[in-house]
Structure 1
């Protein structure tokens, strides 16, 4: 689950990501995806663009003592440091999705890429690497958020940020066309490619940390934000957070923040 490089490079961001985002935002989708794939005892599992490793960690929980062959790969060594601290039994590796750090002839029964494909510069190479990593008859799942034009909460937050920064291409929602995702996987040689749109309500008991992290990501993805000195960037983050308060209030339901979020989930076989 990769994030923009600016966000990942902020001091303590991986710890903030793990503390504030993983359980409410990423864990529900990891559980759903692995349920969809149907893990079996002894399955070898590969989590690509793993972030702090929630897919791999849920797989370990479900496989128990049989989960001795789980690998998580991410380009960020800082994110992996958090992953190792939380789940030391899993094999965490630093690497690029377009050149996976796999051992000779190493393959997996289950390969998952949750919300990482949209960030890969070379998606064709990444899909080919996934195909090579999947054993014959193995199961693949790739999830990519739908466009934020279909997700009102994120669209509204982006529009607030754009008043300060100009147009922002939010990479997180840049690969929302399911047909393009399916074509990518078929082109890589996967069989039985199928995708579906899934929507669910996401809840945060405290929306403030989420709003700050999301604002940091938006500023970092903008051309204007990338050109700013650190102090200017911090000032803009504070202004956007403040101006986003009405949007946050609009999606509060009395017990916290609640909003609808949609993803594509593409599955295939090796």
Structure 2
């Protein structure tokens, strides 16, 4: 995921602090439930070798390590040194490596029983190359799990937030939801040489103990992805961000029960074998 987030231009916050913000506000409430779902889908077993591609601060890799109980091996790869620094601080026992999905930093012949990529594929500049690299990393009979968000039109909370932002920024093409077509996803991995390919559309209701930080981070991302936001000065971005966040308060409140922010999110989850 960090391969995506850290390359978004013009985000209205301190990039140096973003990995810590990501870990604090997003890793556990947003990504951990999906990591647990993906690992359950591929049947993580004792002794498995696990590769987490575009690992961000490493939540899927860490869940795998917890579930393996030390009986196995886990490697996390990400393009962002800042994300990896947080990942290492959280779990120094995992093998964290800097690299990109189109040219994975693997030893000669190094392969894994489980290869996972959670919400990173949609951002890779060369998706066929990334799929081929995943195939290279997957051992014979190994299992692949790739998750990509469904279009935000299927998630009312996200859609309402984007429509508010577009009143200030104009149309926004959000790459986070840019690979929502499950058929296209299946074709990509079929061409890469995977077998037994299936995909499912899954829904989870996610809960955030503090909703406002999530809304702010989402607003920052929307500003950074918009043409108008990219052209703004830092002061202009800050002013627009505060205006969008303020206007988003009623939406946040409508999805809050007074103690937590809760909304349903949908993803494609593709599985296959090597």
Matched-pair contact (CA < 8 Å) for 2:16–2:82: no
Q: State the shift of 1:178 in Å.
A: 0.5
Answering whether residue 109 of structure 2 is matched by residue 105 of structure 1, we say: yes
**TM norm structure 2:** 0.95
The C-alpha deviation readout for 1:13-41, integer Å capped at 9, x for no partner, is 11011011111110001011111111122
Q: State the shift of 1:195 in Å.
A: 0.3
The aligned counterpart of 1:168 is: 172
The C-alpha deviation readout for 1:23-61, integer Å capped at 9, x for no partner, is 111000101111111112211110000000001000000
Q: Matched residue of 2:56: which SS? A: coil
The aligned counterpart of 1:88 is: 92
The C-alpha deviation readout for 1:193-225, integer Å capped at 9, x for no partner, is 000000011111210110111111111111111
The aligned counterpart of 2:270 is: 266
Number of equivalences: 269
The aligned counterpart of 1:30 is: 35
Answering whether residue 234 of structure 2 is matched by residue 230 of structure 1, we say: yes
Unaligned segments of structure 1, at least 5 residues = none
Matched-pair contact (CA < 8 Å) for 2:113–2:141: yes
Alpha-carbon RMSD across the aligned residues, in angstroms, is: 1.2
> Which of 135, 139, 147 in structure 2 is aligned with 1:135?
139
Q: State the alpha-carbon separation in 2 of the partners of residues 11 and 158 from structure 1.
A: 25
The C-alpha deviation readout for 1:128-160, integer Å capped at 9, x for no partner, is 000011000000000000000111100110111
The aligned counterpart of 2:120 is: 116
The aligned counterpart of 1:16 is: 21
Q: State the shift of 1:255 in Å.
A: 2.5
Unaligned segments of structure 2, at least 5 residues = none
Matched-pair contact (CA < 8 Å) for 2:119–2:149: yes
